[in-house]
Chains A and B, each alone.
Chain A
């Protein structure tokens, strides 16, 4: 498994790089979890959501509020916070899903956008809870035997969660449940005729994606040390979509690769050149036009055009 090889390489090399790069990679891994959760919806179930940031936000704010108002989550209780965040992400998705699942296609897109904006509105207006537009500053990263305040340590923790998420999601999509999701994406009507409760399948996928979003939220909050309404703004959801499309929908790992690309462009390329926005937008447009499978679809394209080339030769 070449993917495993790359992961091991990443895990081993990163701590020895430039200390800024460690931060970048850590951020990218957190966003990769969010992207993978969206891939479950988009790539596997065929549901394009513009509101994934909402679950990241819910998880992040939970972490911040527990840390500042209740001094909870800064020691071993960190693990409890992880569980709570996953639960609250899933719960939020469960509620939102009831509305969103009524729709499909573009209506689904719009409802998820609207729901995401509602979360933003709450974060913005509920000053007493969320600090409004000032945001909430977390006191410090948790410490339980190991100090997460150390960037390398935190990288390993995030890396661990990323690998775990990837594994769990992989198992999920390879399972019968996952297979039926793909079936729904391809031909929902046929699945229904076959007796599948497609609504339930989609709903469960939606809730699971929310749970992973909540997990990403905790890690995001601690990575930045601060949570603000800017974290749940529409652009974050759009970015998640970009990541999945760039990396390759329906591949899981693609989301991670996409996250790497987007983070690289936003945070690193932007320090080098002023036209990075064009690069990002342009890359996105080109990927959609010519690489429907994203980065991970490149070998397939080579094979296809190679086969086409050979075909033409044979015909002569």
Chain B
């Protein structure tokens, strides 16, 4: 390579880089008065892109409902794609904070993203609201590390504490578990197992197909025949295939599912094999209250599908933010004050009454829902809906347990609670 050749390239590069710098130096905008800048971090490309889109759609729908006006403050909503990779999420969060000067950032899907973003909020002292990322410890044993972190969705084990008790009530004595092999799976199963075994039930088997498994052939024949029911936790494509393959293998046992197993994100693509399956979550699109009916109808008309909890939680989060700003007469009250007020909030939302506990996780209704095929909300087709069969009000992340006692025990993991009755 000749010297002139190199120089030409380097010149070009310097010019290019210089132009980059230029855009950056001029990119920082002065903070406008009465402008509320909310950053949103979600996967917009890659395998989780649809989840990200659903989240954004939910949040944006609320903003459109109030015409972008939060009690006098105009909302500037900036969405960044984290591709579901924590390092990218961290970088985007920094960009939102440093360059866009957001007042808060919202989002994150995976537990690892939640764990990556929480320290950013602590370090930069900016509010981070997580509507989806549900890793238990973020508001439990690690809660003190992240004082600017607030959850508006749920913690992984939260819905399954009442669920385990319900299972006892239904007369199930021995349950086999088939759950995705990762932290979210462990926490969902752990919550269920703890309360189920506390009231006399026995978990007799735990099978952990790797995350992303779509052929359950190896696992299904190993399910113990003497189980009364099967508890499963599946996410995404796994939720779709597992019930089908389970049914095809001749299963007749009742099936209980985790929060994401029959969520409306996958329900429309499921077939009749899931009718009768029961799961627990803080939301169901089939909730029969006027707010939810309006929400479902509007969402469906706009986006062509029934809203999942991904959309609802973000809609509600936007509503909560609005409420705080309203209480402050259209002004952002500062980071610490915002967290304090959010942690003290009680609101009537689409999914019922929600308040936030002192460890910054929601206290809310948990709905036990059963998949049924019927017509709802005036739609003329028979479709699959998660009919609510029982409501547990005011469920906290600690369930029926004492907070101090609960925090002393380890976080739910693959081996905790231990499988005493697996032989």
Contacts and interface: CB of A to CB of B under 8 A. Distances in A.
Q: Do chains A and B touch in the complex (CB under 8 A)?
A: yes
A2 B44 CA distance: 39
Contact size range, B: 35 or more
A132 interface: yes
Interface residues of A, number: 48
B183 interface: yes
Interface in B102-139: 110-112, 115-116, 119-120, 123, 135
* Highest count of chain B CB atoms <10 Å: which of A17, A267, A303: A267
B45 interface: yes
B301 interface: no
A233 B86 CA distance: 12
A209 to B, nearest CB: 22
Contacts of B81: 270-271, 274
A105 interface: no
B95 A137 contact: no
Given A2-B10, A266-B88, A134 B95 contact: no
Interface string B1-35: 11111111110011001001100110110000000
Nearest to B142: A137
Contacts of B197: none
Nearest to A274: B44
Contact of B116 (A19, A225, A233): A225
Given A6-B13, A18-B28, A133-B182, A127 B112 contact: no
A157 interface: no
A124 interface: yes
B98 A20 contact: yes
B312 to A, nearest CB: 24
A20 B110 CA distance: 24
Given A19-B98, A124-B182, A224-B86, A135 B21 contact: no
B43 to A, nearest CB: 11
Contacts of B184: 133
Give the secondary structure class of A's interface: helix
Interface stretch (A21-29, A68-76, A86-94, A308-316): A21-29
16 contacts: A5-B10, A23-B91, A133-B110, A133-B182, A133-B183, A135-B115, A137-B115, A220-B87, A229-B112, A267-B88, A271-B92, A274-B44, A299-B1, A299-B4, A299-B5, A299-B8
Return the 8 tightest CB-CB contacts between A and B, nearest first: A299-B5, A18-B24, A228-B112, A2-B10, A226-B116, A133-B182, A135-B112, A224-B87
Interface of A: 2-3, 5-6, 9-10, 13, 17-21, 23-24, 27, 124-125, 127, 132-135, 137, 220, 223-226, 228-231, 233, 257, 264, 266-267, 270-271, 274, 277, 295-296, 298-300, 302-303
Given A20-B94, A230-B110, 14 more contacts: A18-B98, A21-B20, A21-B21, A24-B91, A127-B183, A127-B414, A133-B183, A134-B112, A225-B119, A228-B86, A228-B116, A270-B45, A270-B83, A303-B5
